[in-house]
Structure 1
Amino acid sequence: MPKLLPALLLLTMSGASFASERALRFSINDSWAMPMVRIENGQAVEGILVDLHQRLAAKVGRQAEMLLMPRLRVQQALEAGEIDVRCYVSPNWVNSGHYRYIWSLPFMTQRDVLAGVTPERLQPEQLLNERLGTVLGFTYPRLQPLFASKQIQREDARTQHQVLLKLSARRYRYAISNELSLHWFNRQQAPEQKLHSLSEVAAEPIACIIRDAQDVPTMALLRAMVQMKQAGEFDAIVARYR
């Protein structure tokens, strides 16, 4: 028994060290909706991002703390070092560099589509004097010249789900949606009420940015993402919500 004491002491100390490591702080944009995230009482409770954050934190032996905040607050929190990991972001969406953060490999592609209430092949440039459903604060580089010239009028809603609800209610005839959200929305609709993808507007590489600091297992997180990509774990998470 005395010979076991050093080993038991080491295990106890390791367990205490593990328990003392704080949770990793992941940002959640409050304008996201299912299948990205479902928010209840100010908490992220399910969705692609919840699964991704929890899996990624578990890979490095941490808990995931998901911080819900407005999109503009996310930018401020990044600059202040208040977030450890921001996932589901494209380099094309970030206006300024974050020297304290390191980009992961892209783990998926987000496809934005022009959605409509009737099936037709149509490009945004063919629209004239139409109101187009968009998400408040989101940028659409391809469409910006059309908004600036007033060829199309932008009509914002707070979340992607609200944009699609207004389209379904015929508040306008066309909207921009990411493909995943459109598929999720249509799952809840009767066949005659389903919305239609008319054309692809943009395809963006999606990655995470991870804070490079001593209290964050930055390299371990980056390696975990490579392993998850190679093992098909990202595809499996997304497939659950298609």
Structure 2
Amino acid sequence: MRLLVHARLILMLLLPLTLPTAQARELVFLAPTNHSEPLARFERGQLKSGLLKDLGDALARRTGQNARFLLLPSKRVGAALAAGQADLLCYVMPGWIEGDFHWFEALIPDAGLLVAHPKADLPARLGDLRGRRIGTVLGYHYPELETELGSEFARLDARDTGSNLDRLAAGQTDLAFVERSAFLAYQRRHPQAGLKQAWVVREFSAGCALSKLSAQNPDKIRQAFQALRSSGELARLLAPYGL
């Protein structure tokens, strides 16, 4: 009986030491449901495919863990990451979300585009957009447009990027702000829509942010990202998506 009690005491003492290790075997990524292809394809409440899944799976393999994806609306991902509900958010930049995070090198090249309906009059400069309805995505920030247009930024929010482009194709808006990767993917699927690029608002390279409440070691995550790049695996992940 005494041996059994001693064994239980030892187990209780060791349990707090083993829990972080068990938790660290799962690398949890946030998957904003506002994304569309090529970043993400959602089906029945799960992230089924897309660059975010490929990148998450690859990083998890590099760190000897399993990837899990937590789906949330874009407007909630910053708070969720800050609260430690997940470890990582990828395809993000400082200023897109609020909070103090570990930031990792830019990995995904892209650009913010102003895209137009075939019959739309194209603006010559950002200032010409004052008062014009512009297709946007709920929860997304558009720093250039917000700074230039202020209260005259007439955004018309869609639930996700695909819906934003669908509205534009249907003529519900004349213009929409989207990422180049999403626009090119939409053009491949719907060439008959005839949408056209008005101009590039900004070129950028998005990276990843790690929660400061995560049990993951920031240095090991950084090394894993660097290994993805130096081995050529990152380039192979991006290539099928035209990035």
TM range (shorter): 0.7 to 0.9
Provide the C-alpha distance between the structure 1 equivalents of 2:79 and 2:129, rounded to a whole number of angstroms: 36
What is the SS of the residue equivalent to 1:234? helix
Alignment gaps of 5+ in structure 1: 1-17
Alignment of 1:199-218 (within 5 A): 199-211=199-211, 215-218=215-218
AA paired with 1:155? Answer: L
In structure 2, what is the equivalent of residue 88 of structure 1? 91
Does the Cα contact within 8 Å between 1:114 and 1:201 map onto a contact in 2? yes
Provide the C-alpha distance between the structure 2 equivalents of 1:113 and 1:143, rounded to a whole number of angstroms: 11
Q: Aligned pairs, how many?
A: 220
Does the Cα contact within 8 Å between 1:60 and 1:217 map onto a contact in 2? no
Alignment of 1:1-242 (within 5 A): 22-98=25-101, 102-118=102-118, 122-150=124-152, 152-190=153-191, 192-211=192-211, 215-242=215-242
- Give the C-alpha shift of residue 145 in structure 1: 4.2
Q: What TM-score, normalized by structure 1, do the two folds share?
A: 0.82
Provide the C-alpha distance between the structure 1 equivalents of 2:173 and 2:114, rounded to a whole number of angstroms: 13
Provide the C-alpha distance between the structure 2 equivalents of 1:59 and 1:228, rounded to a whole number of angstroms: 8
What is the SS of the residue equivalent to 1:170? coil
RMSD between aligned residues: 2.3
Does the Cα contact within 8 Å between 2:123 and 2:129 map onto a contact in 1? no
In structure 2, what is the equivalent of residue 4 of structure 1? none
Measured at CA, do residues 113 and 20 of structure 1 come closer, stay the same or move farther in structure 2, by a change above 3 Å?
closer
Does the Cα contact within 8 Å between 1:133 and 1:155 map onto a contact in 2? yes
Provide the C-alpha distance between the structure 2 equivalents of 1:213 and 1:163, rounded to a whole number of angstroms: 34
- Give the C-alpha shift of residue 146 in structure 1: 5.0
AA paired with 2:35? Answer: W
Provide the C-alpha distance between the structure 1 equivalents of 2:30 and 2:212, rounded to a whole number of angstroms: 16
- Give the C-alpha shift of residue 230 in structure 1: 2.5
Q: Could you report, residue by residue, the CA deviation over 1:118-164 in whole angstroms, capped at 9, with x for unpaired residues? A: 396743323354211001111111111454342x5211101011000
Does the Cα contact within 8 Å between 1:167 and 1:173 map onto a contact in 2? yes
Does the Cα contact within 8 Å between 1:122 and 1:199 map onto a contact in 2? no
Does the Cα contact within 8 Å between 1:130 and 1:153 map onto a contact in 2? yes
AA paired with 2:83? Answer: A
Q: Out of 212-221 and 197-206, give the one that drifted further.
A: 212-221
Q: Could you report, residue by residue, the CA deviation over 1:20-57 in whole angstroms, capped at 9, with x for unpaired residues? A: 85311111111111111001111000000000000000
Measured at CA, do residues 231 and 125 of structure 1 come closer, stay the same or move farther in structure 2, by a change above 3 Å?
farther
Q: What TM-score, normalized by structure 2, do the two folds share?
A: 0.82
Provide the C-alpha distance between the structure 1 equivalents of 2:163 and 2:23, rounded to a whole number of angstroms: 41
Q: Could you report, residue by residue, the CA deviation over 1:2-31 in whole angstroms, capped at 9, with x for unpaired residues? A: xxxxxxxxxxxxxxxx98853111111111
Measured at CA, do residues 214 and 155 of structure 1 come closer, stay the same or move farther in structure 2, by a change above 3 Å?
closer
- Give the C-alpha shift of residue 214 in structure 1: 7.9
Provide the C-alpha distance between the structure 2 equivalents of 1:97 and 1:170, rounded to a whole number of angstroms: 40
Measured at CA, do residues 125 and 20 of structure 1 come closer, stay the same or move farther in structure 2, by a change above 3 Å?
closer
Provide the C-alpha distance between the structure 2 equivalents of 1:163 and 1:219, rounded to a whole number of angstroms: 38
AA paired with 2:39? Answer: M
- Give the C-alpha shift of residue 179 in structure 1: 0.1
- Give the C-alpha shift of residue 200 in structure 1: 0.8
Measured at CA, do residues 20 and 83 of structure 1 come closer, stay the same or move farther in structure 2, by a change above 3 Å?
closer
Provide the C-alpha distance between the structure 2 equivalents of 1:77 and 1:96, rounded to a whole number of angstroms: 10
AA paired with 2:138? Answer: L
| Identity within the alignment, % | 28
